[in-house]
């Protein structure tokens, strides 16, 4: 069996190499590729994607997995090799339903669609992107049909990002937390509002980037195995073991844009940096799901980055770097400013109390597009109407409305709900961390995050994608994904800030 296991691992290694090459091309597309390279880049990505799909669906792979399954049942069920066979079986059974040419089609389509989205967003003109959005929706409908029968077509897309999660599960979770979040937002709106003028002064880009690198290093991002670069829409990319890229955008006249995005993306990258090399070049290398990945980024961005203990340590450093901008602003005034609750148009800059509403409206729209109850041509109107219903404000143009997120241009349907699920998981983990590290706040006040990162490495990162997300959360916290800890956190935090 060892020979067959090694043979399967070698095939996985080849697949991983191809996927990492594609990831590098995708990262370059977003950072340094000239606009004229779109078509060529699309063909390169299509070729790599099709090659990977042909290898992953080869009959030989299926036979190796089949031969190894009886052996795997005799091993420790939590061992790397036993889980490797289980996860590989799931991946193979899904992959064989998708023709390799369709994988290549998607790569070509989304590369061109992304270029159109960039132009459309820059010009705030949805009509430029609309024909590509039509193709993306139609592609996702065809993709979902490959997996019939299903309870709901959206289940197919959701499962690609959140294994074994169902649309009804997500809807139920959202239905439970939405009214409680709305109630909190209404209470905050009726309270005395926070003064956040300090955030809208001029913060030179070079100084912000230097500060961001300092903070990323402080919390544990290893620049020997990573780097940061500027883009239109921030993201983190895993190019392979020892090579995690984070990206950022910066607004010189709004403090929050850069600093919290760099902590967010560092959280993603530190997850990948914490996965052991022994899992590299296998199907177990990488995060277990996007919700778990998002739990890491939101933990560092919000539970650390927007916490009072963190700024008790770092605010004097901020004052030294930006003395004029912070002149006369106390620590508590600054802390309240960065945590101000106010419905806003841009998801990535939304406060913690309103953020999930951005996700819920996207889920509703995606399901409507997939079912055909929402037409692509109607999307800007539907977006604006739904946004106003959920958040009480209306986008003035397409750039701050339907075109604000890059994800649809990459064909990423079924993706958005994982952002909100990640928020919920972050608090379930945080509650457990606080039990295991009672002096966590004191450590943060001293700028010490080693023990926190070590805890995450041990309990989350080291497993890679060995365990399905719901199972992993239950192993760590004793319960599956639920919103109660998150709602309690929001109520406690904002009651203190707003005197509720």
Q: How far is CA 320 from the centre of its chain?
A: 32
Helix, coil or strand: residue 316: helix
How far is the C-alpha of 137 from the C-alpha of 382, rounded, in Å? 16
230: which strand partners?
248
98 SS3 class: coil
Q: How far apart are CA 278 and CA 69, in angstroms?
A: 21
Instruction: Please work out, in degrees rounded to the nearest 5, the angle formed at the alpha carbon of residue 205 by the alpha carbons of 201 and 210.
Output: 115
Q: Do 440 and 452 form a contact (C-beta atoms < 8 A)?
A: yes
Catalytic residue among 265, 272, 294, 366: 265
Give ∠ CA 220-222-223 in degrees, rounded to 5. Answer: 135
Catalytic (active site) residue 400 = no
**Under 8 Å between Cβ of 308 and 302:** no
Q: Which residues contact 367 (CB under 8 A, 6 or more apart)?
A: 154, 167
**Looking at residue 300, what DSSP letter applies?**
I
Residue pair 327/380 in contact (Cβ under 8 Å)? The answer is: no
User: CB–CB of 339/310 below 8 Å?
Assistant: no
Pick the closest to residue 421 from 232, 322, 293 (CA basis).
Answer: 293
The Cβ of residue 150 has, within 10 Å, a number of other Cβ atoms equal to 14
Closest CA to 366 of 416, 319, 434, 418: 416
Torsion of CA 12, 18, 19, 20, to 10 degrees: 110
Q: Which ranges of 290-350 does DSSP label H, i.e. alpha helix?
A: 290-298, 308-321, 331-338
Cα(275)–Cα(122) distance, integer angstroms = 37
CB of 483 closer than 8 Å to CB of 495 = no
Supply the residues annotated as catalytic. Answer: 265
């Amino acid at each position: 069996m060892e020979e067959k296991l090694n043979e399967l691992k070698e095939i996985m290694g080849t697949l991983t190499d191809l996927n990492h090459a594609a990831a590098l091309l995708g990262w370059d597309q977003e950072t340094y590729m000239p606009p004229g390279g779109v078509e060529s880049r699309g063909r390169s990505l299509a070729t790599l994607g099709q090659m990977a799909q042909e290898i992953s669906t080869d009959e030989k792979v299926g036979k190796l997995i089949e031969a190894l399954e009886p052996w795997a049942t005799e091993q420790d069920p939590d061992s790397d090799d036993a889980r490797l066979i289980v996860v590989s079986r799931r991946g193979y059974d899904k992959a064989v339903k998708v023709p390799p040419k369709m994988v290549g089609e998607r790569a070509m389509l989304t590369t061109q669609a992304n270029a159109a989205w960039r132009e459309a967003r820059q010009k705030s003109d949805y009509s430029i992107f609309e024909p590509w959005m039509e193709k993306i929706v139609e592609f996702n409908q065809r993709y979902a049909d490959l997996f019939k029968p299903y309870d709901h077509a959206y289940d197919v897309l959701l499962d690609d990002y959140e294994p074994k999660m169902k649309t009804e599960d997500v809807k139920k979770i959202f239905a439970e937390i939405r009214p409680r979040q709305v109630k909190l937002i209404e209470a905050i709106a009726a309270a005395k509002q926070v003064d956040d003028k300090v955030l809208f002064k001029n913060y030179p880009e070079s100084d912000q980037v230097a500060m961001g690198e300092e903070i990323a290093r402080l919390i544990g991002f290893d620049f020997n195995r990573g780097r940061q670069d500027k883009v239109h829409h921030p993201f983190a990319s895993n190019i392979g073991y020892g090579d995690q890229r984070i990206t950022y955008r910066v607004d010189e006249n709004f403090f929050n844009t850069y600093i919290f995005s760099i902590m967010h993306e560092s959280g993603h990258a530190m997850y990948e940096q914490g996965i052991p090399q022994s899992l590299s070049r296998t199907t177990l290398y990488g995060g277990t799901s996007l919700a778990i990945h998002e739990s890491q980024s939101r933990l560092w961005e919000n539970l650390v980055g927007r916490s009072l203990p963190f700024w008790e340590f770092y605010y004097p450093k901020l004052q030294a770097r930006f003395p004029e901008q912070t002149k006369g602003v106390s620590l508590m005034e600054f802390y309240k400013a960065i945590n101000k609750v106010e419905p806003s148009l841009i998801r990535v800059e939304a406060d913690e109390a309103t953020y999930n509403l951005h996700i819920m409206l996207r889920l509703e729209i995606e399901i409507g597009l997939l079912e055909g109850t929402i037409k692509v041509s109607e999307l800007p109107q539907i977006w604006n109407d739904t946004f106003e219903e959920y958040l009480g404000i209306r986008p003035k143009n397409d750039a701050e409305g339907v075109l604000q997120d890059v994800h649809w241009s990459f064909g990423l349907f079924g993706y958005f709900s994982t952002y909100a699920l990640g928020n919920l998981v972050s608090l379930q983990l945080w509650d457990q961390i606080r039990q295991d590290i009672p002096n966590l706040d004191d450590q943060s006040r001293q700028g010490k995050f080693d023990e926190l990162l070590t805890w995450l490495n041990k309990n989350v990162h080291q497993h890679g994608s060995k365990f399905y997300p719901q199972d992993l959360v239950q192993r760590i916290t004793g319960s599956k994904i639920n919103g109660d800890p998150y709602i309690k956190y929001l109520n406690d935090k904002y009651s203190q800030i707003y005197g509720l």
